[in-house]
Structure 1
Amino acid sequence: MSAIEGWQTHTLEECCDILDNKRIPINGEERESRIGTVPYYGANGLQGYIDGFIFDEPLILIAEDGGVFDEYATRPIAYKISGKSWVNNHAHVLRAKASFDQDLIFYNLEHKDIQSYIVGGTRSKLNQGALRQIEINLPESLPEQAKIAEVLSTVDRAIAQTEALITKQQRIKTGLMADLLTRGIDADGNLRSEATHAFKDSPLGRIPVEWEVKDLKSVGNWYSGGTPSRSNSENWGNEVPWVCPKDMKVFDLKTTIEKLTALGLKRGSRLLPAEAIFIVVRGMILAHTFPVCITNKPMALNQDVKGIVTDPNVCSRFFAYWLSEHGQSLLKITTTATHGTKRFDMGELHAVDIAIPRLNEQNEIVRLINEAEKLGINYQSDLKKFRSLKAALMQDLLTGKVRVTTLLT
């Protein structure tokens, strides 16, 4: 019984067929020998592709074991599939019964807190008996169920389309950066090519004749930082942003987690001006990622970070983009300390060559990359808005707080 007029509380057993008995487990070795084009699903989504199928219809999957049940607020615990598919025995398989809208059942489960139904320790498990007893509230009217699902599906399509635009724009930006940072653009704004422009041989291969090869050390001044004593509270406050690797998750760095006092700065670190570039030169993150950021205000830095203030004839943002674009190749020259920490040998890093255009061309290259970056940021903003809209709609529509009956014809 539901407290909402015209709604009813149902268990999943009442509104769904549980198709777990149709699942066919398959070991990794057999899967490797049967790679095909049919999606192969497990506890938390697509696991790969296989050469056969068990199902060929729209279904709802929810993890049996290994699910992200405790992250239900930010990650889906259920997902929809359709067409030919293979499902392993780590995901429950649900199909709506007649008089129930399958999409609405899915939306009720997608971000539902079902932790009270979970058993097990290190690997949480939703057994089938508990699955059958999970309760959801649904309108008694099938048209009302379908209309709620339609509204939420419309937002889901907008989210999917925006995610596709972000992926496409990232590919475009990556290609644009690769072209601009190796070939540049001429005075007319055209991308250079050897068919139409003069190039020359260099230690880096063929580059535009206007460009100059330098080593990284000569691009500007490189600075080290430090950490003032943590046992003295006078060193730590809210005055001077202090950059360490955990802050460097964005390219444009505007703030830091920790800040120093003026006294702490004097005692144990160094302040660099706005537009300084920071790179991580020591830490486990260098096993897979080369963090690069540029600041919008003066900031200090710790000992795991190097700061670079470029010469007047080098645009700091151009150099930051170059470092970011070449991050994976630079990681190849890191070394490993005895305790496993990755680090750069600064002599070796300084000796890496870079091809640099004249300052006016650097600025134009930066302008074009900034435009591509801005478009991506706008798409990300749209995606955030759509996700917020969906969360609000789910809260209103799935609880009956807002009814869709006026939309029914």
Structure 2
Amino acid sequence: MPDWRTVQLHEVADIRVSNVDKKAVASELPVKLCNYMDVYGNDYIRADLPFMEATATAAEIERFGVRRGDVMITKDSETPDDIGIPSVVLDDIEGLVCGYHLAQLRPREAMVDPTYLSKQLSLPETSAYFAQRATGSTRYGLSTRTIAQTPIRLAPLVEQQRIAAILTSLDAAIEATEALIEKHQQIKAGLMHDLLTRGVADGGSLRRSALEAPDLYLPTKIGLVPVGWEVTGLQAKQRGTDKWIRTGPFGSSLKGEHWVVEGCPVVTIGSLGEGVFDEHELLFVGERDAARLAEFRLKLGDVVFSRVADVGRSVVVRQENVGWIMSSNLMRIAVDTSQVRPDFLQMLLAGDPRVKAQIRAKVNSGGREVANSEILGQLLFAWPPVDEQERIIVRVQSIEAPIRLDQDRLRKLRMQKQGLMQDLLTGKVPVRAD
């Protein structure tokens, strides 16, 4: 790669750190706000995203108005591994302004392709650069100087554009597979709603609804539940002498300096998939750090629970996951499996409308929703007898098979993308500019 060179980010892009908040002020102008989660959750910013309605001054709109080709990165977060996440703007979006907690990069397009720049910022070594230089104790941030000095491998422009086209095409295949999974998940959600509110009778069929057979249900604090079901909190179902819930370590216990290429897996929010761990998103710590964090190791049957952002997303720990370590944005719940099947609890957290309504009503809203052990201790759950829990689990798992196949294809596509990014964005594998 004789024509490649390494530059600092400020040499190829203008950098602006936004101070536009979410408050609506009557004297200001209405705008659409591109906020933290818009960037964190999307590789591409498009016009069809549901942007927040907010206000900004004319000066803020002039300085932080978003244009097609801008690249946004998350500037600060509760954990170092959530910093520096990039997203590139693909559309001209009228009235869109870059929000607080973000840095706005405006590439000099005669030097760097915007999508290529965004992909360079996604490389593991760039993430490590951000994590190692983030400052803070309970909340971590990047200085403008650190962002400006970010090293960027710069290929010839035509080669950049070819690399961007290849990776964008692969992203399109990933998005199509994600859409198919979402369609199947909606079908599953409808069935789970019925299963978790009506249950499965001894013969294996859905119990008749309360409208059809009111005598089969009893009123409770969370609404009607089938006769024979119990309504309690999680603490009543805790596992032996184990603490029934534990929060992950403080963010300062897991920093960028602790990550290694191979070692003990660490589960982060990014690796918490829809009922399964996404091993592609795992991070790793060495033996010494794993021993230091032993109290946060996962045990068989634990339910790992997201306590921020998508609160309620959860996964059951299988034998192959035992000993993994959870990160600061997660909790693990330990239940007595003679009373509650972990898979059933995971289904309640992920799909019971009564549980989800309680979570929404109780979590804090300060930019990102946050749950804690006190909030989880206040939640009420409807528990069928264990044999009925098992019948419900079997029904749900029967519709999960095609979803698992699509998820496996998605993981392979993501692995292919990871490999291609490493090969193409480092110049290891050359691409033809034509």
Aligned to 1:95, which of 97, 104, 107?
107
Corresponding residue number in structure 1 for 2:425: 398
Corresponding residue number in structure 1 for 2:155: 139
Aligned to 1:110, which of 122, 126, 138?
122
Residue type of the alignment partner of 1:126: S
Superposed displacement of residue 370, structure 1: 0.8
Instruction: Give the match's secondary structure for 1:56.
Output: coil
Corresponding residue number in structure 1 for 2:283: none
Residue type of the alignment partner of 1:381: D
- Structure whose CA Rg is larger: 1
Superposed displacement of residue 403, structure 1: 0.9
- Cα deviation code 1:146-185 (max 9, x no counterpart): 1111111122223333444444444433331111333467
1:9-408 paired onto structure 2 within 5 Å: 9-16=6-13, 18=14, 20=16, 25-30=19-24, 38-41=32-35, 45=39, 48-50=52-54, 54-63=65-74, 65-66=75-76, 70-71=80-81, 76-81=84-89, 82-84=91-93, 85-88=96-99, 90-111=102-123, 112=126, 113-115=128-130, 118=133, 123-127=140-144, 131-140=147-156, 142-183=157-198, 200=215, 202-204=217-219, 212-215=227-230, 225-226=240-241, 245=245, 306-309=335-338, 324=349, 325=352, 327=355, 365-405=392-432, 408=433
Distance in 2 between residues matched to 1:354 and 1:68, nearest whole Å: 34
**Structure 1 residues 366, 29: CA separation in 2 closer, same or farther (over 3 Å shift)?**
closer
Superposed displacement of residue 137, structure 1: 2.4
Superposed displacement of residue 25, structure 1: 3.9
Distance in 2 between residues matched to 1:48 and 1:62, nearest whole Å: 18
Superposed displacement of residue 104, structure 1: 1.1
Superposed displacement of residue 86, structure 1: 0.5
Contact 1:61 1:79 in 2 (8 A): yes
Instruction: Give the match's secondary structure for 2:338.
Output: strand
Distance in 2 between residues matched to 1:117 and 1:319, nearest whole Å: 40
Superposed displacement of residue 204, structure 1: 3.7
CA RMSD in angstroms comes to 5.5
Residue type of the alignment partner of 1:6: D
Contact 2:210 2:216 in 1 (8 A): no
Instruction: Give the match's secondary structure for 2:423.
Output: helix
Superposed displacement of residue 199, structure 1: 5.4
TM-score, length-normalised on structure 1?
Answer: 0.57
**What is the identity percentage for the equivalent residue pairs of Structure 1 and Structure 2?**
22
Distance in 1 between residues matched to 2:348 and 2:120, nearest whole Å: 46
TM-score, length-normalised on structure 2?
Answer: 0.54
Contact 1:223 1:306 in 2 (8 A): yes
Instruction: Give the match's secondary structure for 2:143.
Output: coil
Residue type of the alignment partner of 1:58: G
Instruction: Give the match's secondary structure for 2:429.
Output: coil
**Structure 1 residues 371, 28: CA separation in 2 closer, same or farther (over 3 Å shift)?**
same
Superposed displacement of residue 5, structure 1: 2.0
Superposed displacement of residue 115, structure 1: 4.4
Contact 2:135 2:141 in 1 (8 A): yes
Out of 166-175 and 25-34, give the one that drifted further: 25-34
Structure 2 regions of 5+ residues with no counterpart? 41-50, 249-266, 278-299, 323-332, 361-372
Structure 1 regions of 5+ residues with no counterpart? 228-242, 254-275, 333-339
**Structure 1 residues 161, 247: CA separation in 2 closer, same or farther (over 3 Å shift)?**
farther
Instruction: Give the match's secondary structure for 2:228.
Output: strand
Distance in 2 between residues matched to 1:116 and 1:188, nearest whole Å: 51
Instruction: Give the match's secondary structure for 1:9.
Output: strand
Distance in 2 between residues matched to 1:106 and 1:25, nearest whole Å: 22
**Structure 1 residues 48, 201: CA separation in 2 closer, same or farther (over 3 Å shift)?**
same
